[in-house]
């Protein structure tokens, strides 16, 4: 029986899975992964470029959500021993942000792939700070050909 | 009628006037579908009719009638 690799908090390894580089990296933990889902984390720090007045702004929440999807792609390619492709946020089909996390909050984002078609992936995604759901969205991501 | 049900969900999803949907008209042009929209089309068809569409299914789809025929064929195969 193989021990679970999760959670993964090695920053250098996580950066290998993402196309983003500091200070744009908005993921610091991979909690879980399977073919259709990913759970990613971020601790909101004062020096985060999307933090203003101790609040993570809307753009930061969206970026964290989008990078959670990229992390799913990156880890999927990693376990297949392939180089992760570049992906883009295609469109935000719907989003609601219920509250803004503060510095020190630990975010947990759960993303579920609803459908993949012609290189476009439709993902349902929720972000929590503790037990509180702070945001939910449906996002389409596109893999660069 | 399966075509009426399809029209109903297309109107709802893509926010077009139902009168614009005619069997002989081009599906992609009428609904103004771009590459990001097809995934929505696949999702709503799967959730409403229980059939899974794949890329190859769209190879010969030009008109709404082609699309109705595709869904009818797929549902009968289930």
pLDDT tens-digit series, residues B22-51 = 999 999 999 999 999 999 999 999 999 999
Average pLDDT over residues A2-25: 93
A25-76 per-position pLDDT tens digit: 999 999 999 999 999 999 999 999 999 999 999 999 999 999 999 999 999 9
| pLDDT at residue number A5 | 94
Is the confidence at residue A1, as pLDDT, over 70?
no
> A–B: how many Cβ contacts below 8 A?
31
CB-based contact A131:A110 (threshold 8 Å): no
Cβ distance of A115 and B43 shorter than 8 Å: yes
B6-22 per-position pLDDT tens digit: 999 999 999 999 999 99
| pLDDT at residue number B45 | 97
Contacts 24+ apart (CB under 8 A), A21-29: A23/A47, A23/A48, A23/A49, A24/A49, A24/A63, A25/A67, A26/A50, A26/A60, A26/A63, A26/A64, A26/A67, A27/A64, A27/A67, A27/A68, A27/A71
| pLDDT at residue number B76 | 94
- Shortest Cα–Cα distance, A37 to chain B (Å): 17
Q: Cis omega before residue B8 (within 30°)?
A: no
Is the confidence at residue A85, as pLDDT, over 90?
no
CB-based contact A115:A139 (threshold 8 Å): no
Q: How confident is the model at residue A145 (pLDDT cuts 50, 70, 90)?
A: low
Cβ distance of A91 and B36 shorter than 8 Å: yes
Task: Give me chain A's average pLDDT, please.
Answer: 95
| pLDDT at residue number A143 | 85
Nearest chain A residue (CA) to B45 = A115
CATH topology of domain A11-143: Thiol Ester Dehydrase; Chain A (3.10.129)
Cβ distance of A115 and B55 shorter than 8 Å: no
Token pair recorded at residue A42: 């971020």
Cβ distance of A115 and B42 shorter than 8 Å: yes
**Residue A107: DSSP 8-state:** E
- Whether residue B46 lies within 8 A of chain A, CB to CB, comes out as yes
| SS3 category, A115 | strand
Q: How confident is the model at residue A86 (pLDDT cuts 50, 70, 90)?
A: confident
CB-based contact A75:A33 (threshold 8 Å): yes
Task: Give me chain B's average pLDDT, please.
Answer: 96
Closest CA to B76 of B4, B10, B2: B2
ipTM of the complex: 0.87
Domain residue limits, chain A: 11-143
Helix (H) or strand (E) holding B12: helix B2-14
Rounded Cα distance between A116 and A34, Å, is: 15
Is the confidence at residue B78, as pLDDT, over 80?
no
């Amino acid at each position: 029986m193989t021990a679970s690799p999760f959670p993964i908090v090695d920053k250098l390894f996580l950066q290998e899975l993402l196309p983003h580089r500091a200070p744009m990296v908005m993921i610091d933990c991979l909690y879980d992964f399977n073919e259709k889902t990913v759970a990613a984390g971020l601790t909101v720090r004062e020096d985060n470029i999307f933090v203003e007045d101790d609040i993570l702004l809307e753009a930061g929440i969206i970026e964290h959500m989008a990078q959670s999807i990229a992390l799913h792609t990156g880890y999927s390619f990693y376990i297949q021993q392939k180089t992760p492709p570049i992906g883009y946020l295609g469109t935000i089909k719907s989003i609601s942000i219920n509250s803004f996390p503060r510095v020190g909050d630990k975010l947990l984002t759960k993303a579920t792939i609803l459908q993949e078609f012609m290189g476009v992936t439709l993902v349902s995604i929720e972000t929590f700070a503790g037990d509180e759901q702070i945001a939910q969205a449906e996002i389409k991501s596109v893999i660069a050909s | 009628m399966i075509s009426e049900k399809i029209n109903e969900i297309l109107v709802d999803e893509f926010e077009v006037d139902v009168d614009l949907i005619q069997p002989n008209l081009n599906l992609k042009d009428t609904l103004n579908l771009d590459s990001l929209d097809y995934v929505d089309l696949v999702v709503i068809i799967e959730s409403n009719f229980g059939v899974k569409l794949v890329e190859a299914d769209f190879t010969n789809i030009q008109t709404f009638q082609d699309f109705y025929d595709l869904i009818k064929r797929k549902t009968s195969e289930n």
